[in-house]
Amino acid sequence: MKSKRTLYLVVVLLLAGSMAGCGIDIPQLARATSTATATLQAAALPTPTPEATSPPAETPTTVPIPPRPDDFEQYPDTIVRYLNDSGGDEDGLRAMLGSWDALRHVTDLLRVDVDDDGTGELLMVVVEQSLDYGINLRGDVLVVDPDSDDYRLAYQATGDSIMLDPALIEVDDLNRDGHTDLAFSSTECGAHTCFTTVHIVTSGTGMYESLTGDGIEMSYVDPYFSDWDGDGVPELIMHGGTIGSVGAGPQRERTEVYKWDGAVYVLAETMNDYSNYLYFKVLDANQAIMGGDYETAARLYREAVDNPGLEVWMEESEREKLVAFSRYRLSLIYLITGGIELAEATRDELLSAQPDNIYAQVVTLLWDAYQREPSLQSACEEVGRFAASHPEAAEVLADFGHGNPTFTADEVCPIQLFQ
Ligand SMILES: [Ca+2]
Ligand SMILES: [Ca+2]
Ligand SMILES: [Ca+2]
């Protein structure tokens, strides 16, 4: 097994060496194939876009390849020393990193001009040991710069921290400010869930400043760049976000769009994937009502009431509770928007269909208060006091797992809508 793998590596390395010299795109010949999860493989998939750059005009000298340092923290120094001793022998460097099992993909060692000075740096994604293609491999992203005849470590992603399972996403002027940027990720897997953190570093200024703070994180994500809003500047698109444990509750994936704002990448929009769970229908309606989009909220609550094809998460009693809550919310929305007849009809629908549900009491209380004094704010406050002393009111939405939002008594009738 071992000898076959070694032969494969040698073939890959020879191929890569000759292709890199031709200045063409390097296909990803070697790729994690065994135990890594789909997410880990996905994290390794994006294709960097190296520019064709010439190595510095030096004649490499053959020096012995140093053995793998015992301590991963010694890798950068050993790499830099080897490059200086060998006069920048890139093929030797690839062979050395290969012998250390430090490279997982051909494209984990690139000669690319990341600081826009016209000379190619050596960009490396190294791991402590790639033999098992396992998860939680310690690694780093390094840039070694051939400054004035001496190679020096220009950038190291980890600094004092530890980075697991690094992967290069893109090398390009991603924010279109005229300077090259590096985008890479690290992925850490816990007992249930793998979280990937994306970093974007502007390197073209030569300063290597992070444009993403401590990084942008999501679970089970396949990050990529795409011009989502058509303004000519790519956004970072993160799609994923589920949690791998039953205790998290019902799950749906989402897309988060991170946009360059001139200083950093900021979350511009979150879009949830479609889900057939009744719970999410109600959750989306709640979000719409809080955003003042009463029309969408009313449509979603109505669908929650009328569509028996929507699935419950744990048990059928969920449906009874969520439908009663939705009928109450419909009555509230129509009161807010002045549709008194609709508000009354929805109240009556709740009272006749579900007279024993806690929300029959809630809607009655709302209406009694509103009819005594036509102020929705004070009626809503009264509902809030009732909910505070009747925990079962908030419980209809409170127990959907730690991966989902909480729901409290003061959200039963959101007083913010009237302030
Ligand atoms: Ca350069
Ligand atoms: Ca840039
Ligand atoms: Ca854009």
- Give tens-digit pLDDT for 120-138: 999 999 999 766 566 789 9
Identify residues whose C-beta is under 5 A from ligand 2, the ion: 173, 175, 177, 179, 181
Tell me which CATH code domain 278-418 carries. 1.25.40
Other Cβ atoms within 10 Å of 73 Cβ, number: 12
CA of 250 to the centre of ligand 2 (A): 39
Can you say how many angstroms the Cα of residue 415 is from the centroid of all Cα atoms in its chain? 33
According to DSSP, residue 107 is labeled: G
Residue 53's pLDDT band (cuts 50, 70, 90): low
Is pLDDT at 5 greater than 90 in this prediction? Answer: no
- If you average pLDDT over residues 235-254, what whole number do you get? 93
Q: How confident is the model at residue 62 (pLDDT cuts 50, 70, 90)?
A: confident
Residue given tokens 């060496």 in the structure block: 17
The alpha carbon of 233 and the centre of ligand 2 are apart by a number of angstroms equal to: 10
Ligand 2 centroid to residue 121 C-alpha, Å? 17
**pLDDT > 60? residue 55:** no
In the numeric block, which tokens belong to residue 279?
């719970």
Eight-state DSSP code of residue 418: G
Percent of the chain whose pLDDT exceeds 70 = 85
User: What spacing in Å lies between the alpha carbon of 215 and ligand 1's midpoint?
Assistant: 24
**DSSP string covering 197-253:** EEEEEE-TTSS-EESSTT-EEEES---EEE-TTSSSSPEEEEEE---SSGGG-S---
- Considering only 8-22, 316-330, 396-410, which range has the smallest mean pLDDT? 8-22
Confidence (pLDDT) at 338: 94
Given a cut of 70, whether residue 33 has pLDDT beyond it is no
For the chain, what are the domain ranges?
2-272, 278-418
pLDDT at 224: 98
The mean pLDDT value for 193-219 works out to: 94
pLDDT-derived band at 61 (thresholds 50, 70, 90) equals confident
Q: What is the pLDDT of residue 27?
A: 35
Higher per-residue confidence, 347 vs 134: 347
Q: From the CA of 176, which ligand is nearest?
A: 2
What is the pLDDT, as a whole number, of residue 133? 60
Confidence at residue 38, expressed as pLDDT on a 0 to 100 scale: 34
Kindly tell me if the per-residue pLDDT of 219 is higher than 60: yes
More confident residue, 58 or 408: 408
Q: Which ligand is nearest to the CA of 123?
A: 1
- Reported confidence tier of residue 73, pLDDT bands at 50, 70, 90: very high
Q: Tell how far the Cα of 199 is from the centroid of ligand 2, in angstroms.
A: 13
CA distance 180 to 16: 24
Cα separation, 247 vs 243, in Å, equals: 9
Average of per-residue pLDDT across 63-85:
95
Q: Is the pLDDT of residue 270 over 90?
A: yes
What's this model's pTM, rounded to 2 decimal places?
0.77
Decide if pLDDT at 379 tops 50: yes
Q: Which ligand is nearest to the CA of 260?
A: 3
Average of per-residue pLDDT across 62-89: 94
pLDDT band at 386 (very low <50, low <70, confident <90, very high): very high
